[in-house]
Amino acid sequence: MWVKLYVPEGYQFDGLFEAIYDFKYVLDNKKYNNNYEYNRAIYLLDLIPFLDNNFLMIKDSEALHAPTSVLFHESYTNQEQLVEKITPLLPNIQCIVSNFEIKGIQTVALGQSQEPTIFDFADNVNTLDFLNSI
């Protein structure tokens, strides 16, 4: 599972870092810790700017998939710009979680992304219709 954040321009990540600080135990996982140390070293050596709370790095990137231990984010100035950025990516996005409606884009409320209803289909493919068509 990959996660990418779209945040309003000028967003400060301090609150997010505070909210997730109790999850610092992820560094106890040797594989995660190796990914964290590796990606951190690469970013530092290449002088790539990133935010760090000593177990998760947040990096500004247009890419959709971030490496393990890194969370990509992208900023937007208004909803129209957000729609422009997201629309071409829709075939590659399984779920958009938002606390507000995005014009013309189906979203899932915060806290509901792991609680699908009976009419929510993975990748928007109705499994029963697919099986009946075979």
Chain centroid, CA 57 distance in Å: 13
CA distance 10 to 64: 20
Amino acid at residue number 81: Q
Q: In the predicted model, is pLDDT for residue 10 greater than 90? A: yes
Predicted model pTM: 0.81
Is residue 118 pLDDT above 80, yes or no?
no
Instruction: DSSP for 12-57, please give it.
Output: --HHHHHHHGGGGGGGGSHHHHHHHHHHHHHHHHTT---EE-SS-E
DSSP 121: -
Vertex 113, ends 50 and 35: CA angle to 5°? 35
Instruction: Kindly report the three-state secondary structure assignment for every residue of 71-117.
Output: EEEEEECCHHHHHHHHHHHHHHCCCCECCCCECCECCECCCCCCCCC
Angle at 117 between CA 116 and CA 123, to 5 degrees: 55
More confident residue, 122 or 59: 59
Q: Which residue has the tokens 């884009």?
A: 105
Average confidence (pLDDT) over 69-85: 93
CB atoms within 10 A of CB 70: 20
pLDDT at 1: 63
Given a cut of 90, whether residue 48 has pLDDT beyond it is: yes
pLDDT 10s digits, 50-75: 999 999 999 999 999 999 999 999 99
The answer, yes or no, to whether residue 131 has pLDDT greater than 70, is yes
Tokens linked to 18: 């505070």
